Homo-oligomer: A and B are copies of this chain.
Amino acid sequence: MIPADHPRYRSLVTRERLAECVKKGIVAWEGLTAHGRGEAFDYMIGERTTSSALKAERTAAALLLTARRPVISVNGNTAALGAHEISALQKACGARVEVNLFHRTQARVIIIENLLRESGVDVFSGEAERLLPLSHDRAWCRREGMFTADVVLVPLEDGDRCEALVDMGKTVIAIDLNPLSRTARSATLTIVDELTRALPQITLACREISEPEKKSLISSVDNHYLLSEAIREMTDRLSHALD
């Protein structure tokens, strides 16, 4: 039992939650490493939503709300950490929610879909086909889901799949703490923020955003600026670390 006043309480509880989810088959072993990697970058942005990340989150809301066929793609780590937040976002923006796994087995897909449903998500689980121009299991998605979506939110996505979706002409919104990753750099819009801080901010923005703000944000999407700002936050913090 982790004491609630522990300075790293939130981080330790999250790790414990992920460890439990590995035992249940929701999170792949490799998901723990990916999470650790995210932790290091989160540390460098100060474990808070920066102002540029907040702008990206409001822009994500604008893109999801104006999409014709928005889809949220969920993997094991996202489901383990943010199932309730995904449910709230779905209610606020009306997107389809589809499970797509890097380490894919049909059993894992079903366990994760069930977890999402228990958290109130309306899961889109039509038959998956190999539709993306990628080798192996990464090619799988659903024809009426991600394949025909115009806007796709991919929290914690693999770089190859992100690039493939962009190449297919989709507007891709990534949530990725690493501003240098291929995912972060190839996405249309990258939110450099931790998943469970980012999702509620997008949901909140969906509820309160005005038409003029929506238009203004969409017309001024500048992912290079957003990534530069995230990097500036990190270099500032690193430069003063030995002071």
Residues of B within 8 A of A179 (CB): 241
Mask of A197-218 contacts with B, CB within 8 angstroms, 1/0: 0000000000000000000000
Question: Of all chain B residues, which has the CB nearest A181?
Answer: B43
Interface 9-residue window, one of A29-37, A54-62, A123-131, A145-153: A29-37
Docked complex Cα distance between A40 and B180 (Å): 10
Which listed residue (B32, B33, B35, B43) contacts A178, Cβ 8 A? B43
| Interface assignment of A120: CB less than 8 Å from any CB of chain B | no
Docked complex Cα distance between A5 and B55 (Å): 35
Whole-angstrom distance between the Cβ of A101 and the nearest chain B Cβ? 14
Residues of B within 8 A of A118 (CB): none
Query: How many residues of chain A have a CB within 8 Å of chain B?
Result: 47
Residues of B within 8 A of A40 (CB): 36-41, 178
Whole-angstrom distance between the Cβ of A190 and the nearest chain B Cβ? 11
* CB <8 Å contact, B7 and A159: yes
Q: How many copies of the polypeptide does the oligomer hold?
A: 2
Known: A36-B33, A36-B36, A43-B180. A242 touches B238 (CB 8 A): no
Whole-angstrom distance between the Cβ of A10 and the nearest chain B Cβ? 13
Docked complex Cα distance between A97 and B242 (Å): 32
Question: Of all chain B residues, which has the CB nearest A230?
Answer: B238
| Interface assignment of A1: CB less than 8 Å from any CB of chain B | yes
| Interface assignment of A3: CB less than 8 Å from any CB of chain B | yes
Residues of B within 8 A of A35 (CB): 33, 36
Binding site for B on A (CB under 8 A): 1, 3, 5-8, 12, 15-16, 18-19, 22, 28-30, 32-41, 43-44, 135-136, 138, 159-160, 178-180, 182, 185, 224, 227-228, 231, 234-235, 238-239, 241-242
Extra contacts, 10 of them, besides A40-B178, A235-B235 (Cβ < 8 A), are: A15-B30, A32-B33, A33-B35, A36-B37, A36-B40, A38-B40, A44-B180, A227-B242, A231-B241, A234-B238
19 contacts between A and B (CB under 8 A): A3-B136, A7-B160, A15-B29, A15-B33, A16-B30, A32-B33, A32-B36, A35-B36, A36-B37, A36-B38, A36-B40, A37-B43, A38-B40, A40-B40, A43-B180, A180-B242, A228-B242, A231-B241, A234-B238
